[in-house]
Chain A
Amino acid sequence: MNTFTYQMRVRHSEGALVRILGLTRRRRFDVIQFFAQPSPDGDFMDIEMTVRSARQGPTLARQLANLLDVTSVGFLVAEKAIAEKAIAPQAASVAC
């Protein structure tokens, strides 16, 4: 398993967050951390999402970029191998 972190700027629109989280789950990435806050101008949401998966991180970045509500995706952390046990379930947090 690898962890990947993405930074996204997202339009405020119906279902934007659900689209992101749903896509992430369907593509077999587990969300282990999720932060969202208004962009400085208030027109967008800035999101930082950390996931873990056996799949390729850049592929999810491109799939997220295909969502029309997502205006930009930054792939912050390149693949970083960690032991699966390193993240205990209770340590995972989701804030959204």
Chain B
Amino acid sequence: MNGAQHLIQALEQEGVDVIFGYPGGAIMPVYDALLDSKIRHILVRHEQAAALAADGYARATGKVGICMATSGPGATNLVTGIANAFMDSVPIVAITGQVPTSLLGTDAFQEVDIFGITLPVVKHSFLVDSADGLGEVVHEAFRIAATGRPGPVLIDLPKDIANAVAEFAPAPSHGAAISLKPAYKDITRAAELMRQSSRPVIYAGGGIGMARAVSEFRDFAELTGVPVVATLKGLGVLPPSHELFLGMMGMHGNQAANFAVQESDLLICIGVRFDDRATGKLATFAPHARVLHMDADASEIGKLRAADAAVVGDIRFALAQLAFVLPISEWREKCAAAKAEYAWKYQRSSSGEIDARYFLKRLSELAGEDAVVTSDVGQHQMWVAQHWQVARPENHLSSGGLGTMGFGLPAAIGAQLGRPDALVINITGDGSIMMNLQELVTLRRYDLPVKIVLFDNQALGMVRQWQELFHNERYSEVDLSDNPDFTAVAKSMGISSFRAERESEVEPAIGRLLNESGPVLAHVAIHPKANVWPIVGPGKSNSEMLEEEAR
């Protein structure tokens, strides 16, 4: 067996069933070995989509996603997807071909230092220097990607190593990922803070879903009775209808959620990193609150906000230990009243145009709580976060940290392959869809029944909104009124498509989207000046939310 065959064998041992990739010169030995494997390869049409599809697969399944590309431009095209996975702590393994070791460092054809380029955006990386150890490298890469705080791992494989004959050496099997049990004294201190609090709020983040701790989290929330706010990535830790759930916090959060945080005397922060989109102006964030921070990653403790108590390690264990009743009914009722007061209101449009918020609310209701929604980045991403009924974190795939336009469609492809029986819906915009439009061909090629809703406001809507609100309506390079006919583009790639532009077309459009078999694209026209409300302005406190009426 050669190195490439060892690589594929090790991937099979890890239970890999699908690889997203694109072949090329330096990775050819691996593609050759792949012919004799049962692993399914999904040929995307741009390497960035391979990395983002692997990311979507990992988020939707909880397994490690795999992407593969050749050296040089193939490898550099993966970088955005790798960075996306890094920022959102998603476990993927990226495999890149590399020029032969004798040519490394000589500026050879399609040579690029992908190891060096990706150093800031990987959890770890390997430049393989021996075929004999390749299996071990793969197993180690999987362990690193999935253990503790998950993240991307790069394996850069020179072509001569892939071709070299290597002795078969059974790779050491590693057991389940080891989770660090939090220290007892830290749990005790955390419990002490909780007992002393009269206005606690749980600030729930993506770390809960990544740690597969949703069940323990729900038990914890329900037993303690503490109101819950979530970050973008934390959506789904409680169903939106749950009495304790106050909504998303932050820049485009629900006012009840931001109110609760600002009024709280204890923030119970679980799997969060105090992202600026969530906290607003940090100096005025939760000004009266002590901080109890629970996370798998010790380096997040105190990074942006000092913690009065910290619990590092397996949050499932910590949540179980800290689940006890707190006498805070008065505070809970106050938060519930705010939730009722600030609940989203859906009004019929006087102009007869489609309101994206209402469209999403209806689509979410009709798609059901088991549907997986992926979004791109921009206004529609925030509307999804606000108006989609996210029942589980793994059902809402959104590029939170990096904010990658073009994430949604490849992520939907990955999610659909990972969960073939799920209804997978991609919500996108006329800016974002163009970033990975070519992947419509991939949908057709593999007949993946992804449903796409393309909200078209003929603009880069979120940038246009900021220019309107914070740059005195000086619009700079946001006009997309020369968009192509998206329904025709989709049809040219073999995707069924239709257009909707009047409010009266909402129900028929959703009906067609959900009932037609195979992939479908709904091109939905919305008002060019539709904005996301409420909003916290740049550098402002979360207590200073702007409402639509204040425009």
- Say whether A associates with B: yes
What residues make up the interface of A, taking CB atoms closer than 8 Å to B? 14-15, 18-19, 22-23, 26, 56, 58-59, 62-63, 65-66, 68
> In the complex the two chains form, what is the Cα distance from A65 to B298 in whole Å?
9
Determine whether the beta carbon of B299 is less than 8 Å from that of A15. Answer: no
With an 8 A cutoff between CB atoms, is B301 at the interface? yes
Smallest Cβ-Cβ distance to B126: which chain A residue = A14
Determine whether the beta carbon of B302 is less than 8 Å from that of A59. Answer: yes
Give B280-315 as 1s and 0s: 1 = Cβ < 8 Å from A's Cβ atoms. 000000000000000001110111000000000000
> In the complex the two chains form, what is the Cα distance from A19 to B125 in whole Å?
10
With an 8 A cutoff between CB atoms, is B533 at the interface? no
Determine whether the beta carbon of B303 is less than 8 Å from that of A15. Answer: no
With an 8 A cutoff between CB atoms, is B539 at the interface? no
With an 8 A cutoff between CB atoms, is B325 at the interface? no
Give every chain A residue within 8 A of B302 (Cβ-Cβ): 56, 58-59
> In the complex the two chains form, what is the Cα distance from A26 to B299 in whole Å?
14
Give every chain A residue within 8 A of B299 (Cβ-Cβ): 59, 62-63, 65-66
> In the complex the two chains form, what is the Cα distance from A19 to B303 in whole Å?
19
A contact face: mostly helix, strand, loop, or mixed: helix
> In the complex the two chains form, what is the Cα distance from A18 to B115 in whole Å?
11
> In the complex the two chains form, what is the Cα distance from A42 to B126 in whole Å?
22
With an 8 A cutoff between CB atoms, is B484 at the interface? no
Known A58-B302, A68-B124, A68-B144: A18·B297 in contact at CB below 8 Å: no
> In the complex the two chains form, what is the Cα distance from A63 to B303 in whole Å?
10
Instruction: State how many angstroms separate the Cβ of B213 from the closest Cβ of chain A.
Output: 20
- Interface residue ranges of B130-183 to A (CB < 8 Å): 144, 149
Instruction: State how many angstroms separate the Cβ of B309 from the closest Cβ of chain A.
Output: 16
What residues make up the interface of B, taking CB atoms closer than 8 Å to A? 115-116, 119-120, 123-127, 129, 144, 149, 297-299, 301-303
Instruction: State how many angstroms separate the Cβ of B313 from the closest Cβ of chain A.
Output: 13
Give every chain A residue within 8 A of B297 (Cβ-Cβ): 66
Instruction: State how many angstroms separate the Cβ of A63 from the closest Cβ of chain B.
Output: 4
Selected from B119, B126, B298, the residue in CB contact (under 8 A) with A22 is: B119
Selected A-B contacts with CB under 8 Å, 6 pairs: A14-B125, A14-B126, A15-B115, A63-B299, A66-B297, A68-B124
Closest 10 CB pairs of A and B: A62-B299, A63-B299, A14-B127, A68-B124, A62-B298, A59-B303, A66-B299, A22-B119, A26-B120, A19-B119
Known A15-B119, A22-B120, A26-B120: A62·B301 in contact at CB below 8 Å: yes
Instruction: State how many angstroms separate the Cβ of A48 from the closest Cβ of chain B.
Output: 21
Instruction: State how many angstroms separate the Cβ of B94 from the closest Cβ of chain A.
Output: 16
Known A59-B303, A62-B298, A62-B301: A14·B119 in contact at CB below 8 Å: no
Give every chain A residue within 8 A of B298 (Cβ-Cβ): 62, 65-66
Determine whether the beta carbon of A18 is less than 8 Å from that of B119. Answer: yes
Determine whether the beta carbon of A15 is less than 8 Å from that of B120. Answer: no
